[in-house]
Chains A and B, each alone.
Chain A
Amino acid sequence: MGKTIFDKIWDKHVVKIIEDGPSVLYIDQHLIHEVTSPQAFSGIEKRGASLFRPKQIVATADHNVPTLNQHLPIADQLSKFQVDTLIDNCKKHGVELYGLGHQHQGIVHVIGPELGITQPGMTIVCGDSHTSTHGAFGSIAFGIGTSEVEMVFAAQCVMQTKPKVMRINIEGSIQQGVVSKDIILFIIAQISASGATGYFVEYAGSAIRALSMEARMTICNMSIEMGARGGIIAPDQITYDYIEGRLFAPKGEEWNKKLAEWKKLYTDADAKFDVEININASDIEPMITYGTNPGMGLAVTASLPQLESFTDATEKQNFEKALQYMGLKAGQGLLGMPVQNVFIGSCTNSRIEDFRLVASIIKGKQKDPNVKTLIVPGSQEVAKQIKAEGLDKIFAAAGIEIRQAGCSACLGMNEDKIPAGEYCISTSNRNFEGRQGAGARTLLASPLTAAAALLTGKITDIRTILN
């Protein structure tokens, strides 16, 4: 029987299968950041051990950094101490650090691909659940806890039970006004926030093949939001073209050798999946979430479910709890509802193509005066490119400030927070209670839908602007 791409990569990285237990899985690339690494560094020191393969680790500061005045010392003393701890740990243990002020600094899942560190066929881990992003390159990439970060420090391996495999096939063409964020929000709304728990998901089909690498990253990024261990897309010419020439991409003879290996990374025609789901791309409309988990999403033009549609008592109770938090009513529509904030950023949607999309909508127009904005590029490199392409002038002319690279209001760890009770259309990945600040009400959507709200101050169907 044939193998899935997931199986091909997994099997090549198994050092040992423990009888009636997990596999010891070798990790090619480890990415670390300031928030989930300090306890792993101190753990390894306490054991009197050293880092096994420091050259296979790259560090950056992203979760807990300010997005204004990055040249000044961090004002929040706890945050400063955490970022300084990363600097000290990297120096002490010989880990390459792209810290604040470095030209390669940025959100860990933006810089990995951007620098050519992320490559097909690799196993990649990071103490961050959105590590699934890197699966867009045909790699096995997943988020781990801090104990597992320490395992990789100690032995360049993690202990993992092999997940089941699911394939989601998306065939056909997407409508105008629909982008990859809508595709993934549609999938999660279909299968729920826990619908892929225990699975690794392969995304396939003509609609996926048609996407750029950055759009594919957005899809794989949110795999975790339906519980999946990770997401993967088989590499193709679009993948190779993206990687070629990047800083850490293989060069010369090595490139040809790698390319030949990468071309073997696909799912065999007779491979079996535990679950297969088929989606028609033309069924997907611009999406938005209304609740407090990413599975609570619908087409921007649709109405919220009615209370009577819930048969399970606990589910009904959870729906009511979410509506109460969000200040919404069962059965209501969302179009035209005022929003006070727009956040464009995060490892889901902060790459140059996202900024190009937004710029294409706001060009020559003015931001709604009632909307507050947090517009945050994913990396120094993205920020540089925004300037090089003159997009910064379009934003400035619309009355919108562009900040400096970091995770920002996606998780509300630094000072970039949404005030309690206010709505925020956000291009990020999570709408959990308090995620963007205590009491903040998050509506997840695409960069296009966010751009529409920048102009109107309301939840808007982007198609009405495009037409």
Chain B
Amino acid sequence: MQSLQKITSRFIPLRIENVDTDQIIPARFLKATTKVGFGKNLFRDWRYEQDDETKPKADFVLNQKQYEGDILVAAKNFGCGSSREHAAWSIQDYGFKVVVSSFFADIFKNNALNNGVLPVTVTDAFLQQIFAQGAEATLTIDLEKQTITIDTTGVSETFEINAYKKTCMLNGYDDIDYLLSMKQEIEQFEQNR
């Protein structure tokens, strides 16, 4: 898994609530048997008219040239619905390293963390401050300090992440390695039940 310590970047503002994983990656792209190449279909039906890559929808933020960066900022309840990890793979493959929202759906949050994409939960007020920034503004996320800063205003907020997951993200460790190292304990648990 990719590690992440600190990032400063411009961001893409997605002012939509309850973004479900069917929008992030529609079901017809779930026929793949690998994890690669999902980025080009990220938000497919919001991005293009009639499923046609030559017809980008001008009103969708990923198609607006003034916005770019490695950070996606979305309104509350981001990633709800289907458990498809393909949503996290799409976001990562497109190039996002951090998703900021005032509220994440549980399964998406786990899936993001398991793929080296950091979900940063901010207050509603802070989210509105981010949305109020211009396209040139940057955000800095410092995972070690657990802070997110709007660089143009210097306003900062701390965010929660448990110590275990933080260590994993900072170092690029994944849960499967951890569990594989626990096999004896798990066997012991099975015997004692």
Residues of A with Cβ closer than 8 Å to B? 12, 15-16, 18-22, 24, 26, 35-36, 38-39, 42-43, 47, 49, 52, 63-64, 76, 78-79, 81-82, 85, 127-129, 143-148, 150-151, 154-157, 159, 161, 163, 193-194, 197-198, 224, 227, 229, 293, 295, 314-315, 317-318, 321, 411-413, 430, 432-435, 438
Given contacts A39-B34, A194-B103, 6 further A-B contacts (CB under 8 A): A15-B189, A19-B163, A144-B110, A146-B111, A157-B179, A229-B106
Q: Decide: A293 and B179 in contact? CB cutoff 8 A.
A: no
Q: Decide: B83 and A143 in contact? CB cutoff 8 A.
A: yes
Q: Select one of B27, B51, B103, B115 contacting A413, CB under 8 A.
A: B27
Question: Which residue of chain A has the shortest Cβ distance to B51 in the bound complex?
Answer: A438
Q: Select one of B76, B103, B165, B176 contacting A47, CB under 8 A.
A: B176
Chain B residues closer than 8 Å to A145, beta-carbon distance: 83-85, 88, 107, 110-111, 114
Q: Decide: A227 and B106 in contact? CB cutoff 8 A.
A: yes
**Given A16-B182, A157-B186, residue A78 in contact with residue B107 (CB < 8 A):** no
Q: How far is the CB of B192 from chain A (nearest CB, A)?
A: 10
Fill in one digit per residue for B149-191: 1 if any A CB lies within 8 Å of its CB, else 0: 0000000000000111100000000111011101101100110
Chain B residues closer than 8 Å to A293, beta-carbon distance: 18, 20, 80
A413 to B30, alpha carbons, bound, how many Å? 8
Chain A residues closer than 8 Å to B20, beta-carbon distance: 293, 430, 432
Q: Select one of B85, B103, B183 contacting A52, CB under 8 A.
A: B183
Residues of B with Cβ closer than 8 Å to A? 15-18, 20, 22-23, 26-28, 30-35, 45, 51, 75-77, 80-85, 88, 103, 105-107, 110-111, 114-115, 162-165, 174-176, 178-180, 182-183, 185-186, 189-190, 193
A159 to B179, alpha carbons, bound, how many Å? 9
A438 to B49, alpha carbons, bound, how many Å? 11
Q: Decide: A151 and B175 in contact? CB cutoff 8 A.
A: yes
Say whether chain A's binding surface is mostly helix, strand, loop, or mixed: loop
**Given A154-B176, A194-B18, residue A16 in contact with residue B185 (CB < 8 A):** yes
Q: Select one of B51, B115, B185 contacting A15, CB under 8 A.
A: B185
Chain A residues closer than 8 Å to B32, beta-carbon distance: 78, 82
Q: Decide: A26 and B114 in contact? CB cutoff 8 A.
A: no
A412 to B45, alpha carbons, bound, how many Å? 14
B20, B23, B88, B185 pick with most chain A CB within 10 angstroms: B20
22 contacts across the A-B interface (CB closer than 8 A):
A21-B164, A22-B162, A24-B179, A24-B182, A36-B83, A36-B85, A38-B34, A42-B34, A49-B180, A82-B31, A129-B107, A144-B107, A151-B175, A161-B162, A194-B103, A197-B103, A314-B75, A430-B22, A430-B81, A432-B22, A432-B23, A438-B45
